[in-house]
Structure 1
């Protein structure tokens, strides 16, 4: 197996690839353009797996956010017990928040990757899985 780590926008070699994954990154990138690049570089029978973040917009998003907020605090507390509080991040190091709503993500993914399965997940995340025929 060959494993490649590359910049999805400028550095992804032509491929073809049997699997492409993108975890908590695609909301920082031009979504449609990146999915198109992934589609072009994926081998027949290959799979794209994305774990991304979406912007809460629909009522179901806000309901899930209401459930996720206390759970997120509990998980953070459990994972970080006994560790010192993190230092504040400088303004230059902050990243762009997710700006696409779940419906937009599902719609664009369906146009670019027909048959893609896009599912809402807890903590403002979604999964997108597409297998090239």
Structure 2
């Protein structure tokens, strides 16, 4: 076997090892989504504006993970030790729904009216639970 052939075989073998290890080291996306949904519910039920926004940030932190865009290390990460963020740990077919829920959470955080922010939290929770809003 030539040097290039040996190198190619080694690269392929390494790729197979990595592809076998990656699923075992992936986080628990279902648990992260459930935790995010719980915090969206806490945001919806919070009487204080600060708590609404704080819990919505927890939702964002669970969805994007510590390396994700919008992660706020000054806020709690209730999904710590559950994985790398639901968006990172979920299968591709779940990403559009999670991205939609992430947008809702961010919209709720940006909403100046507390009642409307809570409505967005309700919508976020419904989206994370896989149910249409209001059901």
Bin for the TM-score computed over the shorter chain = under 0.3
Rg (Cα) greater in structure: 2
Q: Which has the higher contact order (CA 8 A, sep 6+)?
A: 1
Structure number having the greater helix percentage: 2
TM-score (norm: length of structure 2): 0.22
Structure number having the greater strand percentage: 1
TM-score (norm: length of structure 1): 0.23
